[in-house]
Copies of this chain bind each other. A is one copy, B any other.
Amino acid sequence: MNEIEFRRAQASDLPAIVALLADDPLGAAREDSSMPLARGYTDAFNAIDADANQLLAVAVDGADVIGTLQISFLAGISRKGGWRGQIEAVRVASGRRSDGIGKKMFEWAVEQCRSRGCGVVQLTTDKGRADAHRFYEGLGFAASHIGYKKTL
């Protein structure tokens, strides 16, 4: 195994990121990794890339994108105006999940939040993802909240 690198995603990483999101029991029904990529994906990439408070990241092993997550740095009035780091869309390539890459990627992400002055890191995960719950609890996250969603 080469040294894994974690870095900001480039436009050329986008097909691999979409493929990672699609290779997932929940994502399979929601995503479309066929090429050329649907316009929504490239528009979203451009919006994220242009926003200093958004960081779409990849884990790279040589030429291969093997993981991804997105961090949103969020200013808020509560907690005395404290910034929060929010992590979403976390995926590790299905063949690489026993390598500790998810843990390293998350530690890197938490460090990005710390370096931006965030006092809290937050995320939500689907109630059905039992493996993810164990993963986050092992990293010191507390399951203190309920996450609600409403589709428009």
Contacts and interface: CB of A to CB of B under 8 A. Distances in A.
Interface residues of A, number: 68
B146 A147 contact: yes
A99 interface: no
Contacts of A62: none
A121 interface: yes
Q: By DSSP majority rule, is chain A's interface helix, strand, loop, or mixed?
A: mixed
Interface string A12-42: 0010011001000001001110000011111
Contacts of A68: 77
Contact of A81 (B44, B51, B120, B142): B44
Contacts of A40: 80-82
Interface string A103-123: 000000010011000111111
Number of copies: 2
Contacts of A51: 53, 75
Contacts of A79: 30-31
B149 A145 contact: yes
Interface string A62-91: 000000101010111111111100101100
A-B pairs, top 6 by smallest CB distance, nearest first, are A145-B147, A44-B81, A40-B81, A141-B148, A47-B75, A124-B145
Given A14-B77, A41-B77, A45-B81, 6 more contacts: A45-B77, A72-B74, A120-B150, A121-B150, A142-B150, A146-B147
